[in-house]
Amino acid sequence: MPVTAMLSSMADNLFDAALGTENGTGYRMSHAIAKAFADRAVVEIGNVFDIEDYIRGGHCEAQLRQEPYSQVQTHWRRTHGLSHALALGIYDVKWQGRELVVARAEWPEGFRGTVSKHYVIADDRALAESFADAVCEYCNSPSNAVLTFRGGCWQRDYAMFATLHRHVA
């Protein structure tokens, strides 16, 4: 076995053994994505990245892949009715005339609750980072909404913005 292959195999086994099944999911997920898209650049980003919001805003086109199976969660809120959010799956994305792939995964981890990650996959790292930056910038600006803190995170409240806007105008 060549030395580089042996070292690579040792590193994989070292991390798998050190992290264990109870808290190494993030590493294993990143590793699996990197292997599946070995010829492309991958940027991993946490939960400040909301591809669904960016799609709804009309800033890119995206098609959810049918394979592998995508887990879509449905939630209901009294003021908004049903909404859908991807828990596990892969989008094929068109943005500024370029094609990218965005994978999303979430899993329970320790006492922190659920961890969610997005993996932006592109022909080169500059494109993946540009797209990730654009999505994060969009998702972190209110855009005709008031930011409210609910459920442990900031969320846009469009109804409150409309109410305030009517009363101020």
* DSSP code string of 28-74: HHHHHHHHHTTTSEEEEE-TT--HHHHHHTTS-EEEE-SSSPPEEEE
Residues 136 and 131: their CA atoms lie apart, in Å, by: 9
Which long-range CB contacts under 8 A does 28-35 form with residues at least 24 apart?
29/105, 29/107, 29/117, 30/117, 30/119, 33/103, 33/119, 33/121
What are 7-48's pLDDT values in tens digits? 455 555 665 655 556 667 888 889 899 999 999 999 999 878
What are 99-154's pLDDT values in tens digits? 999 999 988 877 768 888 999 999 999 999 999 999 999 887 777 778 788 777 77
**Cα 147–153–159 angle (5° rounding)?**
35
Predicted local confidence at residue 22, as pLDDT:
62
**For the chain, which residues make up each domain, given as ranges?**
1-36, 39-141
Predicted local confidence at residue 145, as pLDDT:
76
Predicted local confidence at residue 5, as pLDDT:
56
CA atoms within 13 A on the CB side of 169: 6
Confidence bin at 157 (pLDDT 50/70/90)? confident
What are 42-92's pLDDT values in tens digits? 999 987 888 998 998 899 999 999 999 999 989 887 777 888 888 899 999
Confidence bin at 158 (pLDDT 50/70/90)? confident
